[in-house]
Amino acid sequence: MSERPEDRNEKIAVRFQVNGEPTELLVSANETLLSALRNQLGLTGTKYGCGTGDCCACTVSVNGRAILSCLSLAAELEGENVTTVEGLSDGSKLNPVQASFAELGAVQCGFCTPGMIMTINALLAENPDPSEQEVRHYLRGNLCRCTGYVKIVDAALAAAGTMEA
Ligand X SMILES: Cc1cc2nc3c(=O)[nH]c(=O)nc-3n(C[C@H](O)[C@H](O)[C@H](O)COP(=O)(O)OP(=O)(O)OC[C@H]3O[C@@H](n4cnc5c(N)ncnc54)[C@H](O)[C@@H]3O)c2cc1C
Interacting residue ranges for ligand FES, rule: CB under 6 A: 48-51, 53-58, 68, 70, 107-112, 144-147
CA atoms within 13 A on the CB side of 1: 2
Q: Which is nearer to ligand FES, 58 or 135 (by Cβ)?
A: 58
Measured CA to CA, the distance from residue 87 to residue 16 in angstroms comes to 14
The CA distance from 96 to 69, in Å, is 23
CB 77 within 8 A of CB 16: yes
Query: Which of 46, 72, 84, 95 is in the footprint of another protein by CB under 8 A?
Result: 72
Choosing from 15, 20, 21, 53, the residue that interacts with ligand X (CB under 6 A) is: 53
Write the interaction track for another protein spanning residues 102-141; mark x where CB under 8 A is met and - where it is not: -----------------x--xx--------------x-xx
Q: Which of 86, 134 has the CB closer to another protein?
A: 134
Quick one: how far is CA 42 from the chain centroid? 15
Question: Closest CB to another protein among 45 and 141?
Answer: 141
**Distance of alpha carbon 50 from alpha carbon 130, whole angstroms:** 28
Distance CA(154)–CA(2), nearest Å, equals 51
Question: What does the binding site for another protein look like in residue numbers (CB under 8 A)?
Answer: 1-5, 7-9, 12, 28-32, 35, 48, 50-54, 56, 59, 65-68, 70-73, 75-76, 119, 122-123, 138, 140-142
